[in-house]
């Protein structure tokens, strides 16, 4: 008896998928079980279709939030609360947290960045532009559910809603990408020097400790000497 697992070659570009496959192959490569890897042609899913499927999988409020950011280019927290009928600013964290959870499952990157507009939290669109044709598309062909899940979908910690804007954005991007290197963090938040990153990561560590949880990421040093953050758990 055997189990066949099919993985789209494009999915292997994602760190978490490649790492999971590597661990699986290592575990089965001790001679206790035969292992065979067969490359086969699989239908290519373009970025636009992948993003559309990502939107379809989101809860209604999270999908509306993304459409607002994409349509306006920059969306302030006051605008988001008004459009989504949210009365408490902290509740917006639940909307963005849902997006951060679904993005890696769909093979896309969180399509916006947290920024400040007149001292208030806002989001700037960084994802693909809206498609010109607004006509409804046919329902996508159901994708067979794999018998083995390559990597569990990570959920943002429960305490993230009270974090500073940049700290929450750091976690959202980290959980979406699976890894962040120091140069990427500096560019993402327009920071002048590596020491400045502590102002983003320390609130996360304090919040985790206060809630009795372990830190949601680990740090290692890469071969190029740069610090790297990876999600834990």
**CB atoms near residue 231 (< 10 Å):** 19
Mind listing the pLDDT tens digit for each residue in 137-150?
Answer: 555 555 444 443 33
Tokens, residue 193? 């020097």
Closest to 58 in 3D by CA, of 109, 19, 100: 100
**d(Cα 138, Cα 228) in Å, to the nearest integer?**
41
pLDDT tens string 130-183:
655 444 555 555 544 444 333 444 566 777 777 888 888 788 888 877 888 898
- For 14-39, what is each residue's pLDDT tens digit? 555 655 665 565 555 544 444 444 44
Residues contacting residue 41 through CB under 8 Å, at least 6 positions apart: none
pTM above 0.95, yes or no: no
What span, in angstroms and rounded, lies between the C-alpha atoms of 158 and 208?
9
Q: How far is CA 76 from the centre of its chain?
A: 21
Count of CA atoms in the C-beta half-sphere (13 A) of 200: 25
Alpha-carbon distance 177 to 108, whole Å? Answer: 9
* Domains of the chain listed by start with CATH number: 1-44 (no CATH), 46-129 (1.10.10.10)
């Amino acid at each position: 008896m055997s189990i066949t697992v099919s993985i789209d070659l494009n999915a292997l570009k994602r760190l978490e998928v490649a790492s999971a496959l590597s661990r699986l192959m290592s575990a089965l490569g001790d001679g206790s079980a035969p292992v065979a890897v067969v490359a086969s042609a699989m239908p290519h899913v373009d970025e636009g279709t992948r993003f559309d499927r990502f939107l379809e999988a989101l809860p209604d409020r999270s999908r509306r939030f993304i459409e607002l950011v994409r349509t306006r280019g920059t969306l302030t927290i006051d605008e988001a609360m008004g459009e989504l009928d949210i009365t408490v600013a902290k509740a917006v964290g639940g909307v963005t947290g849902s997006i951060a959870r679904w993005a890696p499952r769909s093979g896309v990157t969180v399509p916006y960045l947290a920024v400040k507009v007149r001292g208030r939290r806002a989001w700037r669109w960084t994802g693909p532009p809206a498609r010109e044709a607004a006509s409804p598309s046919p329902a996508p062909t159901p994708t067979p559910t794999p018998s083995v899940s390559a990597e569990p979908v990570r959920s943002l910690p429960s305490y993230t809603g009270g974090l500073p804007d940049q700290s929450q954005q750091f976690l959202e991007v980290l959980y979406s990408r699976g890894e962040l290197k120091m140069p990427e963090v500096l560019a993402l938040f327009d920071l002048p020097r590596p020491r400045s990153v502590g102002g983003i990561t320390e609130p996360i560590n304090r919040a985790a400790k206060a809630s009795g949880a372990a830190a949601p990421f680990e740090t290692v040093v890469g071969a190029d000497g740069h610090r790297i953050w990876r999600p834990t758990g």
